[in-house]
Amino acid sequence: MLQNKAISILIKLIIAQRYLAINSLILALFTSILEGISTPFVMLILQELGGGLFNISQIPIIIKNIVELYATFPKSWHLLILFVTLLSLTIIKNIFLYFSNININNLQLKVGFLLRKVCIERFLKLEVSFYNRSNIGTLLSFVNEQAQRSEILSSQVIEIIREMLMIFILLVVLIGLSPELTIISVISLLVISLLFKAVLNSVRIYGRKAANSIDEFSSFITELLSGIRVIKSFKSEFRELERADKYLTNRYVAELGAFKYNSAIVPLTETAGIILLLLLLGVGSSVVSATGGGGLPLLLTYTYTLLRIIPRINHLNSLRSQLALLSGSLEVIHDFLSSTDELHLPDGQKPYRGLTSGINFENVSFTFAANSEPTLKNISFPVKKGTITALIGSSGSGKSTLADLVMRFHDPDSGRIKIDGIDLREYQIASWRNAIAMVSQETFLFHTSIRENIAYGCPDATKLEIIEAAKKAYAYEFIQELPEGFDTIVGDRGARLSGGQRQRIAIARAILRDPDILILDEATSALDSNSERIVQRAIEEVSRDRTVIVIAHRLSTIEKADKIIVMYNGRVAEQGTHEELLALHSEYWSLYKSQVSVKEQIIQST
């Protein structure tokens, strides 16, 4: 019904909410006991309505005790006492049942909350390299549909225990009424359970297929929505609709297969129950013949109690089927959590307290998991405190990868990055990253206000500090022109702002953070000339008195850098100042001349 890996994580989730689970079970126990106690009163009422003829020697001991108790009252009160007692027991039982249901639903919601939180904590713990090779749609499904299906399992486990308690108590009553008929009932129920085992196995198999199809469909939808501009520009709507049809069909087939088996549970159980009931009525009729009319109330009560059990067995089998159907989702989440348990960089012990001398790259090499060739090969150069170091080179030369190593998104395969002579891996990741700000070409803004985006790295910043940072980033003027000023919502990824405006907000965010080290990853390459000039002035403002690493495409923006590192095919080809590199008449000289020539051609053509 449930695989071991699904059981292990489900038990942990339920134990985390053990008080709710225990309360639910205690309430379920009281409900079951009251259910069992109230059942004999049905026989007594039937007996009273039939004239009150009892053969004391033939009735069960529990009913005999009740008879002796209420027989002390006047006979005219007997029926009223039985009615009031049965009604009172039923009301109290259903009050317990109500609170039991509340606790079970509360447990389900708490487990869902905890499961989503565990997944989100893992998302935040995993390093950037994991996301470079993962599909966001699949990850989203863990906290959406898969978690929603998984949380239901917790309530179903408690419901199964509750139904089993109910059935057990009612079986005790049945044994008290007629041990012979109960033996026949139990044997029949065991046979029925064995017949359903194959059906439940099929439900579990299709449930896992359904869970996998949900992952695939979520991945497709995320990709479709993320690439909607590309899809429309290439008029590929029909092709994407065909892909959608394929994923939807796979999901439909998997879920339909699961529901076909799942839907067979209740009809089969009910049919088996009716067969059992008819069998018992046939056997039980001999009791009536042997005892005369006095045995009729017992047979009717036994049948009534059995009819109370059969729907619970139906529900129990339905719950078991649902458990098999939904367990696939919990298995998928378990696989994700177990497979990513060790996929994070080891944290250092030393707190970072500020740069005193500089950063030094010593024979640094790095290879991405998906590549066979190293992206960086024996990189060595120093970055002195308070200087501007520029990284240039063709696309794929390793510039951004080097910046990611500084951010400690990855660790080198070999070699070391030393901070004031200490290996970067010895520093606490949080304290190190708190001292760095990065402004990249693809600026990411959250779907919140401009104020919140600027203060993202410093959530306790005052209003005046945010305004001052905006002024230094040359963003204050355009912010004031917006309808809601600093309270303007920027839209998804900052879609309501222009590229230059987004960059200036990102620079204001970096200025407010007041970092020791600033990384500028082609921060102006995607801007028009007017926006570039404004952003460049903002960059000069944020770069003042800091250690800056600039990744540049346009060489005109880094001519004043203290050192320029020319990278080629993952190696350092040249390094020096602008003038020194031009004098070499080599790689940098060729790049610079080619950009000057292009610029002259553009000027001449205009």
CATH of the domain at 393: 3.40.50.300
Question: How far apart are the C-alpha atoms of 444 and 502, rounded to whole Å?
Answer: 8
The domain boundary residue, chosen from 304, 339, 374: 339
pLDDT at 603: 43
- Whether residues 458 and 605 fall in one domain: no
pLDDT at 424: 92
pLDDT at 55: 47
Answer whether residue 153 is part of any domain. yes
- Whether residues 431 and 496 fall in one domain: no
- Whether residues 151 and 185 fall in one domain: yes
- Whether residues 273 and 149 fall in one domain: yes
Can you list the residues of the chain whose pLDDT is less than 70? 1-6, 43, 46-73, 195-198, 200, 229-230, 233-234, 262, 265-266, 269-270, 273-274, 276-277, 280-298, 523-532, 596-606
For the stretch 427-456, pLDDT in tens is 998 889 888 888 887 778 888 898 998 988
Answer whether residue 139 is part of any domain. yes
Radius of gyration of the chain (CA): 37
- Whether residues 211 and 272 fall in one domain: yes
Answer whether residue 360 is part of any domain. yes
Answer whether residue 345 is part of any domain. no
CATH of the domain at 298: 1.20.1560.10
pLDDT at 362: 92
The single-letter code of the amino acid at 7 is I
Q: Identify the helix (H) or strand (E) that includes residue 517.
A: strand 517-521
The CA dihedral of 22, 27, 28, 30, to the nearest 10 degrees, is 130
- Whether residues 524 and 509 fall in one domain: no
Residue numbers of the domain that contains 444: 439-514
The domain boundary residue, chosen from 297, 312, 339: 339
pLDDT at 418: 93
The domain boundary residue, chosen from 288, 304, 339: 339
Helix/strand/coil percent split, the chain, to 5: 70, 10, 20
- Whether residues 378 and 499 fall in one domain: no
Answer whether residue 344 is part of any domain. no
- Whether residues 148 and 280 fall in one domain: yes
Cα three-residue angle 173-177-178, rounded to 5 degrees: 115
- Whether residues 140 and 91 fall in one domain: yes
- Whether residues 213 and 186 fall in one domain: yes
- Whether residues 104 and 212 fall in one domain: yes
- Whether residues 225 and 294 fall in one domain: yes
Domain total for the chain?
Answer: 3
Answer whether residue 175 is part of any domain. yes
What's the length of the chain?
606
Question: Which residues does 605 contact at the CB level (< 8 Å), separation at least 6?
Answer: none
Residue 568 phi/psi, 5-degree rounding, is -145, 120
Answer whether residue 348 is part of any domain. no
For 437-476, b/e burial (b = at least 16 CB within 10 A) is: bbbbbebebeeebbbbbbbbbeeebeeebbbbbbebbbbb
Answer whether residue 538 is part of any domain. no
For the stretch 270-309, pLDDT in tens is 677 667 667 766 666 665 555 444 456 667 777 777 777 7
